[in-house]
Chains A and B, each alone.
Chain A
Amino acid sequence: MLFRVIQKDGLKRLFELLVAENTVIGPVEIGTDRHGLPIHGFSEVFDFHDVRLDYKTTKLPAKQYFLPFREDLATFRLSGKDWDKEVDYHSTKQHVFFGLHACDINALNKLDKVLLGGAYPMPYYAAKRQNMFIIGIDCLPQPYCFCRSMGSDTALHGFDMFITDLGGSYFVEILSDTAFNLLKQVESREPVEEDQVSYQQVVADKNKKFTTHVDTTDLTKILDMEFQSEVWKYWGDKCLSCGTCANVCPTCYCYTVHEQVDVDLSRATKTKMLYSCNFIDFAEVAGGHNFRPERHGRLKYRYYHKHRGFVEAYEESLCVGCGRCGESCLAEITVPEVISSVRGGTI
């Protein structure tokens, strides 16, 4: 990996170079909560002053740019008995992500495994994923973050460059030649011993600030052993099956499909919509049989898929520990609490 150091105003210059000819998505303030604290979200940005590089975890992940909530899989031209199918991967738009946290970069890496891997890669996702340029940025742990427990507090790949604030300057990791060439246009220098020391200091300081931890040791086995545990019923009784957790999760990708015919019967559309395994009909099959009719069964399944199933399939969990689901859950159900109660077999 190549490292550089750029001065603070160099980043502004970099932003301006990018925004002149590309669509740039960055963290911005989208409102304030009831305590008057800012709420952040990802949005297209045009002015460097709108970018909040010290943002807290955004309420919603950047998912809308690569896994839109609603997307047409195909359209059909209908004429009498005959029809033609047209498929468009909607790949035209390129996106520069200016300031993704490590957890969200890791979320993309995990999605890549399932959506680009296997015998049938998902072309709609692949088309968008190929058109991304990602600048990562370091962050400060929030009370609800447990990314360190999930091994997602740093990103090893999945970005073009990653910047860490050293106080007076930025430490830059470069992973792609696109980033390398871009940086040629900004004043930068080789890191010296001093930069490396202060980089390591920043990382060490950050590590001290994690307050929430999840013990994942042997978690796959424990989830199996505690499959019948009463603990699930306790959480199930609280859960509203609203699906908010899946909606705000950067790694939830499940979907449902709907088809519709235009009123003049000339076209039909097959649309994919992100869905949540917490919804009652998620596992319902023909004849009305439901494999997960109860709320606790569906909530358990969500944990099971993320922390056991995905681990079995890909040697890693499908949770990056961003804490968004717990922060947004109206029933105050959080991953650290659920997992610790399941581990103990008690609430």
Chain B
Amino acid sequence: MGNKLEFVPITHGHYHRRTDLAAFEFTYKAEITSIHRLTEYENLYRIQIIDPRERDQFDFLPGQFLMLEIPGIGEAPFSISSSPSRKGDVELCIRRVGSLTDFLAKIERGTQVGLRGPFGTSFPMEKMNGQNILLIAGGLGLAPLRAPIAYVQENRSRFNAVDIIYGTKDPSQLLFTYQYDMWRADDLNLHVTVDHADDTWTGRTGLVTKILEELFAERGDDYFQNTFAIVCGPPVMFKFVCNMLNQKDIPMQKMFVSLERRMHCGMGKCCRCNVGSTYTCLSGPVFDYWTVLNLKEAI
């Protein structure tokens, strides 16, 4: 008998679990089927998984994100900004900020990209049945909220009052303006505001917190007792908005935020998204506010 060792796994349990190791770098090959310019810095990309069988398998929940890969250029996380009922055909609203997103801003329809995921937690839409929903977005924060908004539109009868409060710095930065009328037609109360108006602007000005205060004055306390809130925007916004909502006694576990961190794996391995004890890619990006308050440096 030779002494070439037969290697038998030695640690407890791990190797015998039925986990798919191939999942780690599994990439759906997909094609950019349309590019829609939203503002100077943001484009909406519609991306379709090429293989029809893979397209059927693909499924996501509102709030989840994908890792978008351009071979040789890089990979980055983006929230899925379209309806979860559209299979294998997603929309990503992407802001130009660096190498990958600059490259994306220049490419043409038909380019093949890779998608990994979907990853992360989602907004618990099922739990919100029969309740009021308050969606509050700042800037690019509307991108991830477009998935729950689409879900609400498609299941409108399941929810009570639905309010969307959306603010940006100035009118030129407003996203998805072409959809506002449709949202209103579907009985969603849309309150749009900008920090700084220009000559063309006839709407509201002020921070989203101002609109929220007005809503507080308008609706009775029993409204807030039956409300779920979804908040997405720059980190400073979370604190102000969630604290205001908490004053109205909305339980912190009925408020949801989506956190942004640097991400390289989406699978809890690279640690780039780690906040204290938590991987934003696994336990987030959607967190309830109670969890966020208990995480150091979360916002």
Where the two chains meet, the residues of A that have a C-beta atom closer than 8 Å to any C-beta of B are 17-18, 20-22, 73-74, 76, 78, 81-83, 85, 87, 89, 94, 96, 108-109, 112, 114-124, 126, 129-134, 157-160, 175-178, 182, 185, 224, 227, 253-257, 259-261, 268-270, 272, 277, 282-287, 289, 291-292, 297, 301, 304-305, 308-313
Contact = CB atoms under 8 A, between A and B. Distances in A.
28 contacts: A17-B3, A21-B2, A81-B111, A85-B25, A85-B71, A89-B21, A108-B11, A116-B14, A119-B19, A121-B17, A121-B24, A123-B21, A129-B11, A158-B10, A160-B10, A253-B269, A255-B265, A257-B75, A259-B73, A270-B75, A277-B271, A282-B272, A283-B272, A285-B262, A286-B260, A297-B297, A305-B277, A309-B277
B277 A176 contact: no
Given A112-B11, A122-B269, A286-B97, A308 B19 contact: no
B173 to A, nearest CB: 13
Contact of A132 (B7, B24, B73, B268): B7
Pairs of residues from A and B, 8 with the lowest C-beta to C-beta distance, nearest first: A268-B72, A309-B277, A261-B72, A254-B271, A76-B71, A120-B267, A312-B277, A123-B21
A186 to B, nearest CB: 11
Main secondary structure of the interface of A (DSSP, over half): mixed
Given A81-B110, A81-B112, A308-B276, A74 B25 contact: yes
B178 interface: no
A285 B260 contact: yes
A177 B261 CA distance: 45
B27 interface: yes
A268 B267 CA distance: 22
A22 B3 contact: yes
Contact of B271 (A182, A253, A259): A253
Nearest to B274: A305
Nearest to A86: B25
A22 B4 contact: yes
A248 B216 CA distance: 55
Contacts of A277: 271, 274
B7 A178 contact: yes
B23 interface: yes
Contact of B12 (A157, A270, A308): A157
Query: Which interface class (under 10, 10 to 19, 20 to 34, 35 or more) fits B?
Result: 35 or more
Nearest to A22: B5
A115 B19 contact: no
Interface of B: 2-12, 14-15, 17, 19, 21-25, 27, 29, 69, 71-75, 95, 97-98, 101, 110-112, 114, 235, 260-262, 264-265, 267-272, 274-278, 282, 296-297
Contact of B5 (A82, A133, A305): A133
Select the residue from A81, A121, A268 with max chain B CB neighbours within 10 A: A121
A112 B14 contact: yes
B264 A21 contact: no
Contacts of A123: 21-22, 24-25
A309 B19 contact: no
A18 B3 contact: yes
A334 to B, nearest CB: 23
Contacts of A130: 7, 9, 15
A268 B6 CA distance: 36
Given A21-B3, A257-B265, A269-B72, 13 more contacts: A18-B5, A76-B71, A81-B112, A85-B27, A117-B14, A177-B8, A255-B270, A257-B74, A259-B73, A283-B261, A285-B260, A285-B262, A287-B97
Contacts of A85: 25, 27, 29, 71, 114
A116 B11 contact: yes
Given A22-B3, A312-B277, A313-B277, A120 B24 contact: yes
B21 A304 contact: no
B8 A178 contact: yes
A259 B75 contact: yes
A87 B3 contact: no
Given A259-B74, A292-B297, A120 B23 contact: yes
A247 B149 CA distance: 45
Contact of A291 (B95, B261, B271, B277): B261
A73 B25 contact: yes
A31 to B, nearest CB: 31
A305 B7 contact: no
Given A120-B19, A157-B11, A255 B264 contact: yes
Given A78-B71, A309-B278, A224 B19 contact: no
B4 A21 contact: yes
